[in-house]
Amino acid sequence: MNNMSIEQMMKRIDEITLKVSDPNISLEESIKLVKEAKELIAECEKRLNEYKEEIKVD
């Protein structure tokens, strides 16, 4: 995950959203995918906050 760009992580989150929306997906797979998405979202937020601090003008 750390080697993925924010754009790649966002794309993966979109893919997960589509997969979880599939009524044929198992509960176990849904849970696994939701956990992955949560980790990706957390990493995106972390990086965006870091970038925000880098460009912050006082």
Residue 1: which pLDDT band, with cuts at 50, 70 and 90?
low
Q: Residue 17's CB: how many other CB atoms inside 10 A?
A: 12
Q: Which two tokens stand for residue 22?
A: 């599939």
| Sequence-distant (≥ 6) Cβ neighbours of residue 36 within 8 angstroms | 12, 16
pLDDT tens for each residue of 24-50: 999 999 999 999 999 999 999 999 999
Report percent pLDDT > 90 for the chain: 91
Angle between helices 27-55 and 6-21 (to 10 degrees): 150
Instruction: Give 54-57 contacts, CB < 8 A, sequence gap 24+.
Output: none
What was the pLDDT predicted at 22? Answer: 96
